[in-house]
Structure 1
Amino acid sequence: MYLLIIFLSIIGSSFAGLFGRHLGSWGAAFITTSCLVVSFLLSLFAFYEVGLFGSPVYIKLTTWISSEVLHIDWGFMFDSLTVSMCVVVTFISSLVHLYSIEYMSHDPHLPRFMSYLSLFTFFMLILVTADNYVQMFVGWEGVGLASYLLINFWYTRIQANKAAIKAMVMNRIGDFCLLMGMLLIFINYKSIDYASVAVLTPVLKDKTVNFLNFNLHLLSVIGVFLFFGAVGKSAQLGLHTWLPDAMEGPTPVSALIHAATMVTAGVFLIARSSFIYEYINNILELITVFGALTSFFAATTGLVQNDMKRVIAYSTCSQLGYMVFACGLSNYSVGFFHLSNHAFFKALLFLSAGSVIHAVNDEQDMRKMGGLKNLVPFTYSMVVIGSLALIGFPFLTGFYSKDLILEVAYGKYSDLGYLSYFLGTVGAFCTAFYSMRLSYLTFLSKPTGHKKVICYAHDSGKFICIALGCLAIPSIFIGYLTKDMMVGVGSHFFGTAIYVNLNNFNVFDAEFISTFYKTLPVNLSLLGFFSALFLYSFRANFLFNIKTSVIGKKLYNFLNRKWFFDKIYNEYFSQFFFKFGFSTSYKFIDRGIFEILGPTGLSTAILKVGSSLHKMQTGFIYHYTLLILVGTTVFIGLRQMWLLIGYAIDFRLLFVVFVLFFYIIYSTNNDK
């Protein structure tokens, strides 16, 4: 049963990819969707056995690598953390498959698309079920590959090509850091499976390692590298720029990869490595700062974006910041609780956005929509549910996890706790504002699009509506139903899957913070929601005057251009590396130094010397006698000179003279 959860998706992917031409679009869609639905049902059984009854399952499939120093098995570990992720991944993936049957029905390459979706799900399941870092890295790289294929699915579009390459390159930076962390673990622990590393970490907590000729704390270096791997995958500040651009792919791709599963892999990695991070408080502080800044940055940027999917993408980036700084404050279970809750309502928002885009002839600019409330009432209802859950409206799913993160942040009673609480609370206000702005511009304002498009807008078909309805139910209830089980005071749901040092444990403190600070985030969320509704309904001129003022223009430009991160990367990093790669690396080093000192220069010099020697062969014996005499005299003279001054000459000078000799010959030959 447990292996079927993982391998059903790759079976469906193989059938759709290899036999899609024979199966046809409907056949490939039916097989892949059926496999994912069965996998989801089996995940529920696994959750019942492992999560509710506390019976972890460990499966050793076969030996993968076996040498004197390294032993790696294909092993799968099903603990409460893993089965929770399996339920989330398979549930959302099965609904995205169902949604795609109708959304992509016009596309002639539907079998290939369904194959990619199932392949992505398979690698994500490999990532979360692995019992060692190397096997986890296989899934980690696999979801990166699948995301590239899915973002670039419409490969004839230049923007899709650029977005896919950008996602791949930015993730390679994080993946390199993760690989460095894994190598350090292997060198020092002599093992890479989670259980061995968790047991040995207390023994090595004071060990130092020489890294780049600096003596550094071993666990701190490992923690930094693992975290920067998570930064790339979970789109934290600095490596976040790929996430909004990845919206160029089809909408089901956005829902599956960039809302529910792939981007949460970094948060999962931090939670899975809690047994390391709990011994390095300085790195936990770094994680907290990165997460808090990301949540604030993305929330402010989302205020002025006009592309519907891009607004939701920045919302994802902001919510990932909440999860990361919750983990940085040693509340991994709270961060994971928000991860699982967020997956449902963010997938609902993305798929609802796809339904809207489908209804208005693939238009994504919210300024060209409006007046859709009565034309697409079901989709409007789904967007409202998703938006209210996102802003943390009381008693919806987001309310139970998002506000809890801010409570435990304030309950730390530290400077970083207050900083993350403040930035998170401001981010909550901004989130509510742009969520209401999205709903108003799309559904409630006067129609501003083309008449032919708006008049023919209608709700989507049954498959899309079923998928949205199934996502709406957990978006309303799942937070209430699972809060006490996952993060309730005294709950042992995660057991040994997550380790928290008693010195960092502050769930009880968070329960007793003042009512004002407990209710401030939800009050600001409601304020942002109703202020956006009021301003866009009755004071649109006021917003226009603010935007066109001197300061307003600069602020709007700053936020609309995403804090100029793309501009800085393009002009100061990309251009530098392009110029260095062509002018310095290629023209000067490869075509210059290497060719002069390498085979080309050497062969040219030898041919030149050989040609000169050939010209000396005149056939007259007195010429040869003269050459023998002169050569003997020169060699004897050099020997005597070396005996006199050889002690004062550096041997390295001979190498320089040798290089200059070949360079002069090569230059002379090129001039001719």
Structure 2
Amino acid sequence: MNPAEGLQDALRWIVLFPLFGAAVNGLLGKRLGRANVHLVACGAVFASFVISAIALYTVSFGDVSRITDQWWRWFSIGNVPVEMSLTIDRLSAVMMCVVTGVGFLIHIFSTEYMSHDEGYWRYFAYLNLFVAAMSLLVLGSNLLVMFVGWEGVGLASYLLIGFWYTDDAKAFAGRKAFVVNRVGDFGFLLGIFTLVGLFGTIEFEQLKALSASITPDTVLEAGIFSGWTLGAAITMACLFLFLGATGKSAQLPLYVWLPDAMAGPTPVSALIHAATMVTAGVYMVARLSFLYAWSPTAMATVAVVGALTAIFAALMAYAQNDIKKVLAYSTVSQLGFMFIGVGVGAWWAAIYHLVTHAFFKACLFLGSGSVMHAMRDETDIRLFGGLRKEMWHTWATFGISTIAITGVLPLSGFFSKDAILHGAHANPNLFFPWVPTFTYAIGLVAALSTSFYMWRMFNLTFHGERRGMLEHRAHEGGNAMVGPLWVLAGLAVGSLVWGLPLSGGARFENFLKPVFRAADENIARMTALGAQKLGVPVPPPPAHDFAAMLPGYLIALVVALIGFGIAWYLYLGPGKDIPAKIAQGAPALYRAFANKFYVDEFYQAVIVAPLSATARFLWRVVDAFAIDKLVVNGSAVLTGWIAQLFRYFQDGNVQRYAVVMAVSAVVILWIFLG
């Protein structure tokens, strides 16, 4: 039997295995015991990983490039049928291997990390539910199936971030993540509705086929966009969808939920905030790259927002002292790099950075969990120091991943991030010619900042002498914690081979070229139209070989080493007293960095407080007083008053009734007889 035929009915099990695992552990976990809960949860995710790996091999080396599992006809939007179907190609197969592979390692790590928690069965049920929802998001063959998974990961992340819900601060963090993501999700829905109105379909393959014949200057004659050009309407749809991405992938202005989401268990941060949910927005834009290619405005917006997020989050990480908060802002910044990639048309580089980031950032988050596990859940890096002597495995794997993310040596992160910067510098945008230079310059500053704050954290945690908790001796975790760290560190090193700039392009670039061929062709068409409209020559396609990328590599290496050198000088070298002097000499500036530029306070004053006051007014005045008291209860009170009045005439006194009847008769006779 052809493997592709067997996979047509097997793709659903990638979703169903962890979904069943969530159901079993959620309903029966308390009775099953810890060992059985671990077996069910880890086994379910591993089974999904095996199917994903087989699918990746099939679409990479088999006779088919895409496999579809047609589940059932869901419903129809007018004449538009919506299928509950799953599709896997090279892009989604890579994503699924990352989601389930890294997810499995995090499950293994969690078996020891969460071993003493009373709610372990809830934790693993939520973790399985999250993997199932993320799998549905990635495999969905249309935008509505993707949206179901999109909402599912939002629900699961709310449950996991607020896992310790008896702590008010942690429960608030879960609610904050849920509410902020609803803002982005509203934009996602508007984008779906716009595409239905424009193209009459939400199936990715049908949209891709239709995109090949788009004429941007065509004026629409019917519908809500009547009088608009098709290009302007596509831009609106892409911007709506990107609003959804800014929520899920924590970009300006909706990034504020992610740092607070560190309230959840540390393995949750490794899963949600490194390898899976936060990359959903990047994946969605890459999946719809063939539409974004027709909108230079949308692509410029994506690239600029990504660049601003990358530098803004990096600056906020400078003065953070919570080890998980540093990694949280690092994640926001690295997601900004990925959006630079998809915004400048370096699709493969963005996905490559997504993959490498999943490896080294998951390792960093789990490494921080290992440190917390050894230091009584303490997260303040100012109290650490010298942990290398007591936690060699964590120090080594954390160091490898820090090298990967900062690029001081050419490991995977060096090649993936610099492929994005090369794309930002070399890929033209004729309609917004300043965007390539802007994003490249901001990207370099963000890369320098990344090197500085990551090496600052590494040096304060693992080198020097212990600065606090002097009586406590740290200890390394067991094999269930150390093993995943080394696997992820190995992947952070080994994945560099996919990004080596060979003469025919990087391996990963060539691997994903069939997926992004339609987007590249549409960009070429749009560039030709733009050149004709602007009266300029069509720019040649940028080169991606070693000679073309070498200058950028050298610049990036120098930038990374400068950041490394500054961090060493200020925190291990002769300048160790300088940070304290800066904090004393410029307290307002230091507080601005430490308080994340007061963005949360600004949102509280400008958005949250007015909305809360409006809601309170509507509740107290409109609902409680006007509706309940006046309309609902008021009618009852008025009826009671009238009844009280008539009681004076209906008291059971027969003589009074006779008098009233006689008087009434006289009055009637007088009226009619005059």
User: Under a length normalisation based on structure 1, what TM-score does the superposition of the two structures give?
Assistant: 0.87
1:48 partnered with 2:57 = yes
Partner secondary structure for residue 72 of structure 2: strand
Could you tell which deviates more after superposition, 135-144 or 43-52?
A: 43-52
Distance in 1 between residues matched to 2:225 and 2:610, nearest whole Å: 25
**Cα pair distance change 1:542/1:590, threshold 3 Å:** same
CA contact (8 A) 1:334 1:487 kept: no
Partner of 2:562: 527
| 1:426 correspondence with 2:445 | yes
Cα displacement string for residues 550-597 of structure 1 (whole angstroms, at most 9, x for unaligned residues):
xx32221111111211001112211111111112x1223223443577
Q: In the aligned structure 2, how far is the partner of 1:77 from the partner of 1:354?
A: 35
Paired residue type of 2:67: V
Cα deviation for residue 293 of structure 1 reads 0.3
| 1:3 Cα deviation after fit | 3.0
Per the alignment, residue 336 of structure 1 pairs with 351
Aligned match of 1:438: 457
Alignment match, 1:19: 28
* Corresponding residue of 1:467: 484
Q: Select 2:152's aligned residue among 124, 131, 142.
A: 142
- Partner Cα separation in structure 1 for residue 135 and residue 108 of structure 2: 19
Distance in 1, Cα, partners of 2:290 & 2:133: 24
Between the aligned partners of 1:102 and 1:230, the Cα distance in structure 2 is 34
Contact kept, 8 Å, 1:411 with 1:506, in 2: the verdict is no
In the alignment, which of 118, 126, 134 is matched to residue 116 of structure 1? 126
Partners of 1:92 and 1:47 lie apart in 2 by: 15
1:260-285 Cα shifts (integer Å, max 9, x gaps): 10000010111111122111111111
Q: Which secondary structure does the structure 2 equivalent of 1:58 belong to?
A: strand
1:64 aligned counterpart, secondary structure: strand
Specify the alignment match of 1:388 in structure 2: 403
Q: Distance in 1 between matches of 2:30 and 2:552?
A: 59
Q: Distance in 2 between matches of 1:214 and 1:459?
A: 66
Matching residue within 228, 247, 258 for 1:243: 258
C-alpha change, 1:211 and 1:293, in structure 2 (3 Å) is farther
CA displacement at 1:131 relative to structure 2:
0.3
How far apart are the structure 1 equivalents of 2:173 and 2:348? 33
Residue 602 of structure 2 aligns with which residue? 568
Residue 91 of structure 2 contacts residue 515 of structure 2 at CA under 8 Å; is this kept in 1? Answer: no
SS of equivalent residue, structure 1 residue 598: helix
Counterpart Cα distance in 1 of 2:175 and 2:669: 68
Residues 103 and 271 of structure 2 are in contact (CA less than 8 Å); yes or no, is this contact kept in structure 1? yes
* Residues 239-294 of structure 1: CA deviation (Å, up to 9, x unaligned): 11110111111110000001110000010111111122111111111111110100
Q: In structure 1, the residue corresponding to 2:82 is in which secondary structure?
A: strand
Does the aligned pair in 2 maintain the 1:333–1:486 contact within 8 Å? no
Give 3-state SS (helix, strand or coil) of 1:195's partner. Answer: helix
Q: Is the 8 A contact 1:411 1:513 kept in 2?
A: no
Q: 1:204 to 1:621 in 2, by over 3 A?
A: farther
Unmatched tracts of structure 2, length 5 or more: 1-9, 528-538, 651-655
Distance 2:60 2:671 in 1: 90
Instruction: For 1:371-386, list aligned pairs within 5 A.
Output: 371-386=386-401
Taking the aligned partners of 1:195 and 1:32, their CA distance within structure 2 comes to: 34
- Per-residue CA shift, 1:388-415, capped at 9, x if unaligned? 0001233201011101111111113531
Deviations 1:98-143 (A, max 9, x none): 0001111111222221111111101100000000111111110111
Name the CA distance, whole Å, in 2 between partners of 1:218 and 1:629: 79
In structure 2, the residue matched to 1:546 is 582
Whether 1:476 aligns to 2:493 is yes
Contact kept, 8 Å, 1:333 with 1:487, in 2: the verdict is: no
In structure 2, C-alpha distance between the alignment counterparts of 1:627 and 1:305, rounded to whole Å: 91
Query: How many Å apart are 1:183 and its aligned residue?
Result: 2.0
- Given residue 218 of structure 1, which amino acid in structure 2 is its aligned partner? A
User: Which amino acid is the alignment partner of residue 272 of structure 2?
Assistant: I
Task: Kindly state the Cα deviation for residue 513 of structure 1 after the two structures are TM-superposed.
Answer: 5.7
Q: Deviation at 1:598?
A: 3.5
Shift in CA distance, 628/462, structure 1 to aligned 2, threshold 3 Å: farther
- Whether 1:28 and 2:37 are equivalent positions in the alignment is yes
Matched residues in 2 for 1:486 and 1:243: separation? 35
Offset of 1:154 from its aligned partner? 1.3
Amino acid paired to 1:92:
V
Letter in 1 for 2:85: G
1:243-322 matches, within 5 Å, as 243-322=258-337
Report if the CA contact (8 A) 1:337-1:486 is conserved: no
Tell me which amino acid in the other structure corresponds to 2:614.
Answer: F
Structure 1 match to 2:180: 170
Residue of structure 2 equivalent to 1:356: 371
What root-mean-square deviation, in Å, do the aligned CA atoms of Structure 1 and Structure 2 show? 2.8
Q: Percent identity?
A: 33
| Cα distance change on mapping 1:604 and 1:52 into 2, 3 Å | same
Residue type of the partner of 1:590? D
Say which SS state the counterpart of residue 71 (structure 1) adopts.
Answer: strand
CA shift for structure 1 position 300? 0.7
Q: Secondary structure at the match of 1:63?
A: strand
Match of 1:416 in 2: 435
- Measured in 1, the distance between the counterparts of 2:642 and 2:26 equals 61
Q: 1:631 to 1:353 in 2, by over 3 A?
A: farther
The equivalent of 2:384 in structure 1 is: 369
Residues 521 and 38 of structure 1: CA distance in aligned 2, closer, same or farther (over 3 Å): same
Deviation at 1:27, TM superposition (A): 1.0
2:127 maps to 1:92: no
Aligned to 2:512, what secondary structure does the other structure show?
A: coil
